[in-house]
Chains A and B, each alone.
Chain A
């Protein structure tokens, strides 16, 4: 191939000696070309309103929507009527929490969740708390998993909802869903799980697991942004959520608003493809690359620590603290590689990752954490390159770090009285 820079299918470039590697697939994923292909007709030729019942334009659009609904239902073992389209997992989480608490107000006023949830759940639960709902925040174990005994002890007769995510977006830790569902079902509480990170990465069948509500999102599974769904169980038991979006009564009244037909069609295709990854060897390929990255980094860089369980973890996720090297300065040195940091400096707030903090990881280590998110378009060459670059930059920044110097001199930095700001 020519030496000119060439853009590959996934947007990374090769040639001219410059490589770009996207390893932030927990943040978002590119649209799979097959998804884009499925969506395209729905912008012009089939642009109709799926709610238009009396002409072909409407029927075509509705057909596209219903096919997508069936694709998604099938992928998670649900019935089509149990899928409600939303604008994304954030809205699905809001609908699940607000809708359940409102619907079951007569039963009780208590919910249970975990501080390591996505902000869409954490902040909604805090909002409910401010409105007088009692919230029990479970304490995750140091590896990120919840303590089932603690959960069992926390459920009460007036508990209306347990909301615990399937897989965490920062540390990739997978929660014991069927055990949680067992506890919820035994006590008559609704079990909601945010499965945005889990679809296509771990087997997720709503009946095998026994979940009642599940949030999913398009852009985490190589689909478009701005589309998601909430699975709402209709049988054994039937679960209902109070309406949070009033209007024209779309989605069986559960969520009004003209359906985003092209996005929904792309979402359906994306989910259908994503669950194929479970059986066609794709997740094994990604896991092997992740493990190579893990071994490469931790064998070449001393004082690097994995955050969260390595065993109960999404195949494409790795979260490592490179002690004594601040995360943002590390990102700056690898601007050709897209990853995220738990350091305060990279976020609007001045606090480091609240997820790592909830695991009991000190702020000093949280500031040095990097999240790697591998995906469908990650290649072995990407991983080899990433290992080399990381080893280079971490080594250089450690030479620059007074903490590394102290550590080398045998000084325990936790014993020093720091004058923080």
Chain B
């Protein structure tokens, strides 16, 4: 199978590889896929109080297209607001990387990873918010 130039570029020079502290309040983590299916993506976003994505990191177990999809996703979400990031569609990833039909699931996974990371962040905020509210109620 021939890979597109962009897939090869992301595979050879993946952007934003690494991990953020998953326990930090301002970090949302998305972990999608399954080892039995041959791909697992971990995408982490560091988000400011006003909802800006300040940093993004990924690690991926999967084929070249899965690596490229997640690498591209980190590039795209950086500097965006949460709402803007949620608008990223897998079809845009397919188009940018020229993924063949059998690799579309890689782009779906990347979209899911963004969503899950943001959900995780929101959950943490709610929890924190909830705790704060309780505290104020007590006071």
Contact = CB atoms under 8 A, between A and B. Distances in A.
Given A328-B64, A329-B67, A332-B3, A402 B38 contact: no
Contacts of A210: none
B34 interface: yes
Given A326-B62, A328-B64, A402 B34 contact: no
A400 B14 contact: yes
Given A326-B39, A332-B11, A400-B14, A421 B34 contact: yes
A405 B105 CA distance: 23
B36 A329 contact: no
A364 B62 contact: no
A401 B61 contact: yes
A403 B42 CA distance: 9
Size bracket, chain A contacts: 20 to 34
A367 interface: yes
A390 B138 CA distance: 61
B24 interface: no
Contacts of B109: 421
A121 B66 CA distance: 34
Nearest to B106: A345
A343 B63 CA distance: 9
A403 B33 contact: no
B131 interface: no
Interface in A353-381: 362-364, 367
Contact of A329 (B34, B59, B63): B63
B36 A402 contact: no
Interface string A395-406: 000011111110
A399 B36 CA distance: 20
A328 B63 contact: yes
Given A418-B34, A420-B36, A421-B105, A400 B59 contact: yes
A343 B59 contact: no
B40 A418 contact: yes
Nearest to B64: A332
Interface string B48-71: 000000000001111110110000
B73 to A, nearest CB: 14
A344 interface: yes
Interface string A345-357: 1000000100000
A410 to B, nearest CB: 15
A301 B6 CA distance: 30
Interface string B1-44: 00100001001001001010000000000011111111111100
A400 B71 CA distance: 11
A302 B122 CA distance: 38
A364 B33 CA distance: 12
A328 B31 CA distance: 21
B86 interface: no
B108 interface: yes
Contacts of A402: 31, 40-42, 59-61
A144 to B, nearest CB: 21
Contacts of A363: 35-38
Contacts of A367: 35-36, 38
A284 to B, nearest CB: 37
A329 B11 contact: yes
A364 B60 CA distance: 14
A145 to B, nearest CB: 25
B36 A418 contact: yes
Given A344-B38, A420-B37, A400 B63 contact: no
Given A326-B61, A326-B62, A403-B61, A420 B11 contact: no
Contacts of A344: 37-38
A419 interface: yes
Contacts of A332: 3, 8, 11, 63-64
Nearest to B108: A421
16 contacts: A326-B66, A328-B38, A332-B63, A364-B36, A367-B35, A400-B14, A400-B59, A400-B61, A401-B59, A402-B59, A404-B61, A419-B34, A420-B34, A420-B36, A421-B34, A421-B105
Nearest first, the 5 A-B pairs at minimum CB distance are: A418-B34, A420-B34, A364-B35, A402-B42, A363-B36
